[in-house]
Copies of this chain bind each other. A is one copy, B any other.
């Protein structure tokens, strides 16, 4: 099981890095810019979480595996662009899987540090979506997760389920899988049926 979790961690990081690198290439960033976007998307959320926990240096910045993921992602996007884009559909699935893993892992790490329920759920969500937010800010636009699609909400639910396990309400050995499964399922179903969160009606503004 630990091996499978480690695989999800690394593969999720890789898919996140690939998404960052793609955005970088699309914005005509140079090689360094593409590296920064890939790296930030992959590890940015975990870094913000670790800074908030006071767990310095942030784990994502000293993990050489993550760096290798980023480098492979950049090489793929440079030399095998066509192949990469033919895997767009499966990439969405692995992205959702990574989302669930990072949410659950981040929430658990925060809970172990602080035993604060609300804070830990928040940290789980930030671990999962923070990198994408920084990526969007670096490309000069509003984070896409704030405006459309069920993405951060799926991470919130995954983080919440994990905290049920971390705090002993459900057995911890199941909660990580339940969290990853729920988050991935919610994300994939919302994509499949094009479900979005309600926008608050705006009658008196502008």
Contacts and interface: CB of A to CB of B under 8 A. Distances in A.
B61 A57 contact: no
A52 B53 CA distance: 11
A112 interface: no
A32 to B, nearest CB: 5
Interface majority SS (helix, strand, loop, mixed), chain A: helix
Contact of A205 (B25, B140, B196, B205): B25
A158 to B, nearest CB: 14
Interface residues of A, number: 65
A164 to B, nearest CB: 18
Contacts of A74: 200
B52 A57 contact: yes
Interface stretch (A75-83, A92-100, A169-177): A75-83
B64 A200 contact: no
Interface string A136-152: 01111111011110001
Nearest to A149: B30
26 contacts: A26-B205, A27-B142, A28-B199, A28-B202, A29-B142, A29-B147, A30-B147, A32-B156, A33-B146, A33-B147, A36-B146, A37-B146, A51-B52, A54-B54, A61-B122, A78-B200, A78-B201, A81-B204, A81-B205, A82-B203, A137-B137, A137-B138, A138-B142, A138-B146, A140-B140, A140-B141
Interface of A: 22, 24-34, 36-37, 47, 51-54, 56-58, 61-62, 64, 67, 74, 77-78, 81-82, 85, 110, 113-114, 116, 118-119, 122, 133, 137-143, 145-148, 152-153, 156, 196-206
